[in-house]
Amino acid sequence: MIEEAKFMQEWGSIPKGEGVISKQTHFADIQSIYERVDGLSKDKLMYTVYSTTSGSLLWGQTILEPVLVHGECNMTRGHFHQRRDLDEYYWCQKGEGLLMLMDAQGKCWCEKMKPGSLHHIHGQWAHRCINTGKEALSVIACWPADAGHDYNLTFPIRVFKENDQILLKK
């Protein structure tokens, strides 16, 4: 017997199929991660995450909108894994951005994200995506289902865009 795939992701589309969920994050949900929180509507869509819900490996896609908050680039909340021995991969499908990484000692650095770039994230590194472009940043991820998320952290670097230039500020 031949069965249809339970999960499908066509090039440039969002994941669809059995067990795919989505969650939208609005400015009100994450305003505390930005330097300034005034002037942006609390219901402004910041990003959407689609992900599978079963199996030992999960697959997901984050679509990060091209929003600036007083010049600060839109970003995901960022996290460590609760299980620091489990790695993750990010693949940039569309747009431009940065993958911000931070080790347990607080050393922070960024990797450029552009269509086709593949990023290996060691389990002991915190990570967040930042949209530095003019269109949505679409990032595909694959991670172990039991990795968990620890959002209790602060990154020491902020990313701003001024006159089309990307600036990193401590």
Q: What is the mean pLDDT of residues 59-80?
A: 97
Which residue has tokens 């940065």?
A: 98
pLDDT of residue 14: 81
**Could you report the per-residue pLDDT of 5-50, keeping only the tens digit for each?**
776 776 677 888 888 999 999 999 999 999 998 888 999 999 999 9
pLDDT of residue 1: 81
Q: What is the pTM of this model?
A: 0.93
pLDDT of residue 16: 83
Question: For residues 142 and 145, what is the distance between their CA atoms, to the nearest angstrom?
Answer: 9
Q: Which amino acid belongs to residue 46?
A: M
pLDDT of residue 87: 98
Comparing C-alpha atoms, which of 4, 1, 24 is closest to residue 14?
Answer: 24
Q: Where are the domains of the chain?
A: 19-169
DSSP string over 46-94 = EEEEEEE-SSSEEEEEEEE---EETTEEPB---BB-SSTT--EEEEEEE
* Domain boundaries 19-169, CATH class: mainly beta
pLDDT of residue 168: 97
